[in-house]
Amino acid sequence: MSGQAGDGVHEALASPTRRKIIALMQAHDHADAHGDSPVWDAHELAGATGLHVTTVRFHLDVLRRAGLVVSHRQARHTSGRPRLGFRLAGTTPERDDRPYRMLAGLLAAGLADDSAGRSRRAERLGRNWADDLLGHEPAAGRPVEPAPTESLPAVVTRIFADLGFAPSHDVEPEYDIFELHACPFAEVAAAHPDVVCGMHRGLLRGLVDGLGGRERASGIQSFIEPGLCVAHVRSSGLPTG
């Protein structure tokens, strides 16, 4: 596969969440009586993955546009709009991470001439990323919208989980603590912590601001031990670093 189609596949598979969805569909990819792969809808995949259904719809749309899954309207026997069904389009190619790591390293190194400048620009990019995830920009596609009953910590935990950070949430006096047990960009972060950690700091602060928590200060302590970063959100406006 080459050209624009190949680029779309690689971009789609760059997401740990989309790889998780594909892996789940492959694990149950037994042909039916007509030789077709089984059909899933977004609600089934949300239940199987533990993701929010809106998040699953967004990722399925990316996979569909990349040609990795196909969709069709499912017949309903009750009133209401028919649901979209999804099945694998064919064999999913193996993805070589090395070109992405090389490109990410080159982009990180060229973001600015000094570490402080790279960190500032990376934080702005992280805030833009948060806007996209929250659907604050039309170009974001399907937004990762909070459910009406979700609290700010619940939404932050869910989005970081969807992005592959394997977070856990705890509450301490005046703080919400989010332990991030996996970094999907760990190799690039080791070489360019100013950029990658700055972008994640901007992502956290952009999510908190975008969810109506502008009075809350937030920050991230990076790699306090191997494989662990800690994000914290304070309920007051006092600086936290």
Q: What is the DSSP letter of 148?
A: T
Give the per-residue pLDDT at 97.
62
> How far is CA 91 from each of CA 12, 26, 88, 226, 241, rounded to the nearest angstrom?
14, 9, 8, 36, 47
Give the per-residue pLDDT at 203.
94
**Both tokens of residue 64?**
């569909």
Q: How far is CA 240 from the centre of its chain?
A: 25
Give the per-residue pLDDT at 34.
43
Q: How far is CA 142 from the centre of its chain?
A: 13
- 238 vs 235: CA distance, rounded Å: 9
Give the per-residue pLDDT at 163.
85
**Both tokens of residue 174?**
């005046």
Domains and CATH numbers, the chain: 3-88 (1.10.10.10), 114-234 (3.30.1380.20)
Give the per-residue pLDDT at 92.
44
Low-confidence ranges of the chain (pLDDT < 70): 1-8, 28-38, 74-83, 90-101, 136-149, 236-241
Helix, strand, coil: what percent of the chain each, to 5? 45, 15, 35
Give the per-residue pLDDT at 144.
52
Distant-in-sequence, close-in-space partners of 121: CB < 8 Å, separation ≥ 6: 111, 112, 198
Model confidence pLDDT, tens digit, residues 199-222: 999 999 999 998 888 778 788 998
Within 134-192, where are the H helices? 152-162, 186-191
**Both tokens of residue 17?**
């969440």
Give the per-residue pLDDT at 25.
82
